[in-house]
Amino acid sequence: MDFALILRVLPVFVAAAWTTIGISLISLVIGLAVAAVVTTARLSQVVALRFLGAAYVSIFRGTPALIQIFLLYFGGPQVGIQLEPFAAGAIALGLNIAAYMAESMRGGILAVDRGQMEAARSLGFGRGRTMAWIVLPQAARLMIRPLGVNAVALVKGTALVATISVVELTYTAQRFIGSTYKPFEIFAVTAVLYMIMIYGLTLLIGALDRAYAEER
């Protein structure tokens, strides 16, 4: 084990890890926003919207994330969508994780006892107000853990954007293999950095969950 090498490359890897964090955060925001729209569609009264929501989930969950990234980055220019690697990666990952997050959100909403909806409706609350004031606040708590699982998958999934040359952690690792011929050290450092990020994220999710739990 070449510790000197590890110490030498570490600053570059830490910088690359920040890029991983950046692309994760942007994808997370895109994912949450799109998932909220898809979930609304899936729970709509309108059949066509329900169908579109379900179609979104089947398409983005039913194809590899790597193909979605390639489709947007390499296929995009052919249909007039020209994106930088970072933007293409963040958008593709965000659209992909949105399908999974929509399932987590829908699960949370459906897990709220039917009686809650009935009680609110019987008081005279409409569908929208019942959702906003009664169902969603309770569903939010139930969504935190599943959405957390999605977020963890997303962070690990960012490794895929190395293939379109986004200079994040995995790409950096591959580049250093070529110059050092020390794959064990390089990939070990990479793995440890991913682990630290995931561990931090897990702590955050746990804290969020507990904060909600203590509210009542």
For residue 121, state whether it binds another protein (rule: CB under 8 A): yes
Nearest approach, Cβ of residue 138 and another protein (Å): 5
3-class SS shares of the chain: helix, strand, coil, % to 5:
85, 0, 15
Is residue 7 a contact residue for another protein (CB under 8 A)?
no
47 binding another protein? (CB under 8 A): no
Smallest distance from another protein to CB 24, Å: 30
120 binding another protein? (CB under 8 A)? yes
* Cβ contacts of 155 within 8 Å, gap of 6 or more: 20, 24, 194, 197, 198, 201
> Cα(204)–Cα(207) distance, rounded to whole angstroms?
5
* Minimum distance from residue 139 beta carbon to another protein (Å): 10
Choosing from 81, 111, 119, 207, the residue that interacts with another protein (CB under 8 A) is: 119
* Residues that contact another protein, how many (by CB under 8 A): 22
Nearest to 168 by CA among 16, 9, 13: 16
> Considering only residues 11, 62, 80, 124, which one is a binding residue for another protein as defined by CB under 8 A?
124
Of 30 and 134, CB closest to another protein: 134
**Nearer of residues 69 and 143 to another protein, judged by Cβ:** 143
Please say which residue, 24 or 141, places its beta carbon nearer to another protein. Answer: 141
**What is the phi-psi region of residue 12: left when phi exceeds 0, alpha when psi lies from -120 to 50, beta otherwise?**
alpha
In our burial notation (b when 16+ CB lie closer than 10 A, e otherwise), range 130-165 reads bbeebbeebbbbbbbebbbebbbebbebbbbbbbbe
Whole-angstrom distance, CA of residue 75 vs CA of residue 64: 15
Closest approach of another protein to the CB of residue 134, in Å: 6
Binding site for another protein (CB under 8 A): 45, 113, 115-116, 118-127, 129, 133-134, 137-138, 141, 215-216
